[in-house]
Structure 1
Amino acid sequence: MPDATFHLTLFGAIALHAPSGKDITPRLRKSRALLAYLAMNGGRRIERCALEQLLWPDRAPRQARDSLKQALSDIRRAFGATAPGPLRTKGGAVHLALAHLAVDALRDPPAGAPQFLEGFDAGAQAFAAWIEQQRRALGDACPGKGTLRQIDTAWRNTPRQFTIEVAAPSTDSSAAGGRDHAAISGLIVMVQDGLRRGLDQTGFFAPLTPNTAACRTAPPDLRLTAHAFAAGPDIMLSLAATRLDQGTPVWSWLETMSLPIRDASGIYMLIAQAIEQLCDAVWQANRKSPFAPCKAPALAALNAIRLISRLTPENIAAAEVALNDAMDGTAVPSLYAWRAYLTAYQLEKRCGAQLDDLRDTALHYSAHAIELDSHNPLTRALVAHVYGFVLKDRDRAQELLSPVRGLVGQNAMLADTVSLAHFYAGRYDEAGAHAQLAGKLGRWNPMQYAFTTVQSASQLMLGQYDAAIRSGKRALAQHPPGIGFQYEPTLRTLAAAYSLSGRKVEGRAALDVLERQTGTDTHEMMKDLPDTLFPNPDVFRKVRDGIQGLRL
């Protein structure tokens, strides 16, 4: 029986051969890049928005959409009359069915094989970064380091979160000079339990209780300890995380607290901030040398959130790739919720995909996240944001938030979603207060600038223009350094606040930055924004009036 399999070569120059042996490599460079990317994703469905931003980030949405269609047609022509062909585009997303497509880079690399996509340049920065990522991964799979198949088996059979033992609390016997030790121990137990719950909700960590069967069977990656000791009239609370395989410290924190504690909100805020810091510390410590390949999904998810916060179309597209990698083969609810949440940023960028396709994607991942775990406050917060902003279903958003509103002081993303719910409903005092709470809870959250922007916009709507300007400028200072890109809602809010306060020169300067960044005329663009970026029509009119005032 003749070979009915297509053969795709990615080591060296890209080449596609028909079952007959005929060279049928697509003629367009971007088509070849797209073919390679889809092949290395192992049959996983990729949204068109991500593909457009991966390969055509510098083109207008309609042009990028047309370019992707042309590349898909080029690939489809290459496969010929095969029915159904390996290229599948049903439902908007795109993938390659690998049943009849053999890809050399998905098998053991042959001895002396050339470099993956050697000398290939698609003319897109994000795609170049992806090539380097693939080369590193394939380099780890060379002879003597284990085959790709062995690595994949270990990956799929090993927990992909960081396991963390939350150790029993301890106190100094002389803590606070003989104060009530029961109160001190209760404080530490509260912190310990809060850390365990919060870490579990992130999706990046799997907390373990010491001396359990799970700890004895497979030693955890990290140990988290809490300790209290006297600091004059106060109590000093010490938290520390250590790598158990090396015994090296990963993160530590000291916090001074006064007894008696009459308001637990301060403890919850401390726990939220500690988790934010720990996530960042684990990412920084392991992004270049992770514990093991099987932990890559947790690192990919941590990386994705940082990529989202960096705002550029390339980073948004890369965040989608990272989240898809993190979700591959795992069912952590918060990861699906983060993937749904990403669509809000894709909508902000209007990434070239049709809005209906983007909303279908948001609905798919939101429903899957809630189906997996409807009790996780972080999952509910992220999905409620998607329903409120992307899907414009305010009733469903309120329904999702209702059971967890009592936890709003414990989670920055929940506080942010509640602030937006108030903002959409025109309750600007409540919106500003919850945005301020989100900023305090998320002091180390990479998206803190978004929380502060909601505070600025709320002040704008209340006519507090000077306060809105101060908050807007603080939001700009909270942007990740070195990205050369600024959050567009911050710039729009600032421009309107400057205008309405009579500071036209500064308002035009903010507007100039916005228009250089987007490459569009904001006055013209505002004509079709209400249905997408301004869920509250009153906010749209206020911002539009402020920006129009800069023309006079």
Structure 2
Amino acid sequence: MANQGEEKQVLLYLMGPFLLSSDRGDLHTPTGQKTQALIALLAVAPRGRRSRAWLKDKLWSDRSPPQASASLRQALHEAKKALSKLSCDILTADKQNISLNLESVWIDIHHPESFLESGDQDPQAHQFLEGIDIQDPEFEDWLTNERRVWTTKMEEFMAQESGRRKTGSSNDASTERGAETSGRTAASAAGAGSSTSQHIAIGLLPPIVPNQSPELTTLADLIVESVARNLGEVHPIDIYDYRDTGMEAFGVPIGTGPDLVLRIRVKSAGSDLYLSLLAYNVANQKLIWSYTIHADQEDALQFDTLTISGFINQNVDRLANSFFTHSLDTFSKLPSNYKTGYTALNYIFRLDEKYLTAAESLLTESYDNDPQSNYLGLLAYISSFNIGENLGEFTDAKRLATIGHASEALEVDPFNSITLACIGHVHGFVFRDFETAADLHAQAVELNPHQAFAWDHFALFNIYTGRYQEALKAAHRACYLGSFSPLRYSFDTTVCMAATLCGEYPTAVRYGNRALSRQPRFGAAMRYLIASHGHLGNVAEAQQHISRLRTISPDFDLPFVRENGLAIAENEGLQRMIEGYEKAGL
């Protein structure tokens, strides 16, 4: 952070634990977490300015207006007290707004080069506002989004710096990767490029493999194909396969071909392999990011191991984030219908009735314009949230529509593992047709053993049918594969559920707390946490979750559970839950 203190007296660190200091290194971090959160909210705000109403909604959404106003005044007083020791006019307020003078503050997220100077070059090493715990759902939603945004920006910066160091300059890079080839005849699997279809297009480049090893070439091909497949199972993409043409990154046509190209690089050292996935933006011919893992060669060549599956999923989540959260300028210009599947899935898992309705409308309209099984599968899947999370009504008409969506989705494409998992969940959880559900879930994980979503729903099915150990094993696999997924709180919840039913209560509490830290309104996590806390004798913690759960499920009580409101088919598991609730004081 060279010379930063010569210009600005106040240093604010948001990546990692919140820290406020002077340019001389004197710490002035306020002790209150809501005071820290207030400063952070202003630090990332446009022009450093937010209305009082907006801030109250983010930090005290569950309080009455007078209480929220009083709490904001107290937090503002503490923030001014901390900042006044550094600069007299850095924080100002009037009747409507509160402002932070950004010109007087050095903020680490706006200076990613500082991480290079400090030697800490791993974007995953620090989390945005690490350790902050504000028990407010509106703040948690904001925090989840900000963490995703800033982690992605750090990853992109580090990847660009890495590419710059390796290539020296754009001209050197062009020489190193090879001259342009004439391999422009590769066809899109969907028959159309990004300029004419409603899908993002991805190109697959020949892998870089030592000594052109057939075994390692096959491994590289399988990995890049799985990355493309996983990405396309939520929202359809067009694939340009250049692997047999000798095409290089800078030989890909701009404007009429793919938006992005992928390449696998393999390096070997004895029995060790180093696998890298490189992603290039075709429009500006820049390396967007690269990601490398170390693996045992014999283990990696098995392909369906957790190491390779994890590598595939992490790259898929990074790609999806780049495409569908508009973190790259190239993709921010794409029409909204290029990301329907991801937008709808995000809406569904926000656990809000208005977003669920918006997802339904978006999917219906998109299917009319672009018939895809993904959209129908998600339309049917929404019914499980109508029932399981008490969001909206599940009427007779909705029931018939769900049956129709499920049937038609399988006719359109019976080979999409996410669609199969969605429809399997509908048959098992909503319609209690376990025989059909068993077939669909088995097909989903067999067709794509690298899909976290499929393993998570396979685990849920085993929970509902009483196979708890199998459920816990599948849930842990989903959690590992989806460790960077925006849906990971749902995967954590499934581990919590299975662990509770297996009697592994400390594990259940750990994963349940993780889930609620990311999605505080997830009723499923609360229901199983209450039972586990009851069995562990943590009555106070259980009562807190009971109070929170009843704000979204007012009818949650023992009679509801005894009538099998939890959809547990096996009596021993149901009795375990009831005993936990009784010990918790439900």
Query: Which of the five TM-score ranges fits, normalised by the shorter chain?
Result: 0.5 to 0.7
1:547 and 2:547 aligned: no
Hey, what's the Cα distance between the residues in 2 that align with 1:233 and 1:188? Answer: 17
Letter in 2 for 1:511: I
1:501 and 2:533 aligned: no
Q: Secondary structure at the match of 2:326?
A: helix
Per mean C-alpha deviation after superposition, the further-off stretch among 388-397 and 540-549 is 540-549
1:307/1:533 CA distance change after superposition, 3 Å: farther
Q: CA deviation at 1:199?
A: 3.4
Q: CA deviation at 1:372?
A: 0.1
1:444/1:308 CA distance change after superposition, 3 Å: farther
In structure 1, runs of 5+ residues without a counterpart are 1-124, 126-153, 174-179
For the Cα contact (< 8 Å) 1:269–1:409, is it kept in 2? no
For the Cα contact (< 8 Å) 2:537–2:584, is it kept in 1? no
Q: CA deviation at 1:455?
A: 1.9
Deviations 1:492-551 (A, max 9, x none): 101111112222111112212212344x25227726863575555654443344223333
Hey, what's the Cα distance between the residues in 2 that align with 1:528 and 1:289? Answer: 54
Deviations 1:371-425 (A, max 9, x none): 1011222221221111111122111112223444434631112111211221112
Q: Which residue of structure 1 aligns with residue 449 of structure 2?
A: 409
2:259 to 221, 226, 244: 221
For the Cα contact (< 8 Å) 1:301–1:322, is it kept in 2? no
1:530 and 2:564 aligned: yes
Deviations 1:198-227 (A, max 9, x none): 3343333222212899x8793112211222
Letter in 2 for 1:433: K
Q: CA deviation at 1:156?
A: 13
Hey, what's the Cα distance between the residues in 1 that align with 2:195 and 2:407? Answer: 26
1:156/1:348 CA distance change after superposition, 3 Å: farther
1:444 to 473, 484, 491: 484
The count of residues paired between Structure 1 and Structure 2 equals 387
Identity %: 23
1:335 and 2:375 aligned: yes
1:289/1:528 CA distance change after superposition, 3 Å: farther
Hey, what's the Cα distance between the residues in 2 that align with 1:525 and 1:311? Answer: 25
Hey, what's the Cα distance between the residues in 2 that align with 1:539 and 1:492? Answer: 14
Deviations 1:156-190 (A, max 9, x none): 993111111111111356xxxxxx94443333122
Q: How is 1:176-215 mapped onto 2 (pairs within 5 angstroms)?
A: 181-210=213-242
Q: Secondary structure at the match of 1:396?
A: helix
1:486 to 516, 521, 543: 521
1:166 and 2:204 aligned: yes
1:318 to 349, 354, 358: 358
Q: Secondary structure at the match of 1:219?
A: coil
2:294 to 241, 250, 256: 256
1:198/1:431 CA distance change after superposition, 3 Å: same
Letter in 1 for 2:241: T
Hey, what's the Cα distance between the residues in 1 that align with 2:268 and 2:432? Answer: 52
In structure 2, runs of 5+ residues without a counterpart are 1-137, 139-191, 246-251
Q: Which residue of structure 1 aligns with residue 547 of structure 2?
A: 512
Q: How is 1:33-52 mapped onto 2 (pairs within 5 angstroms)?
A: none
Q: Secondary structure at the match of 1:423?
A: helix
> 1 or 2 for the larger relative contact order (CA 8 Å, sep ≥6)?
1
For the Cα contact (< 8 Å) 1:296–1:326, is it kept in 2? no
1:277/1:537 CA distance change after superposition, 3 Å: farther
Q: TM-score, normalised by structure 2?
A: 0.59
For the Cα contact (< 8 Å) 1:384–1:397, is it kept in 2? yes
Hey, what's the Cα distance between the residues in 2 that align with 1:232 and 1:506? Answer: 52
Q: Secondary structure at the match of 2:233?
A: helix
Letter in 2 for 1:383: I
Q: Secondary structure at the match of 1:164?
A: strand
1:276 and 2:310 aligned: no
Hey, what's the Cα distance between the residues in 2 that align with 1:254 and 1:156? Answer: 28
Hey, what's the Cα distance between the residues in 2 that align with 1:511 and 1:263? Answer: 46
Q: Which residue of structure 1 aligns with residue 410 of structure 2?
A: 370
Letter in 1 for 2:343: N
Q: TM-score, normalised by structure 1?
A: 0.63
Q: Which residue of structure 1 aligns with residue 308 of structure 2?
A: 267
Letter in 2 for 1:226: I
For the Cα contact (< 8 Å) 1:456–1:472, is it kept in 2? yes
Letter in 1 for 2:315: A
Q: Secondary structure at the match of 1:169?
A: coil
Hey, what's the Cα distance between the residues in 2 that align with 1:344 and 1:325? Answer: 21
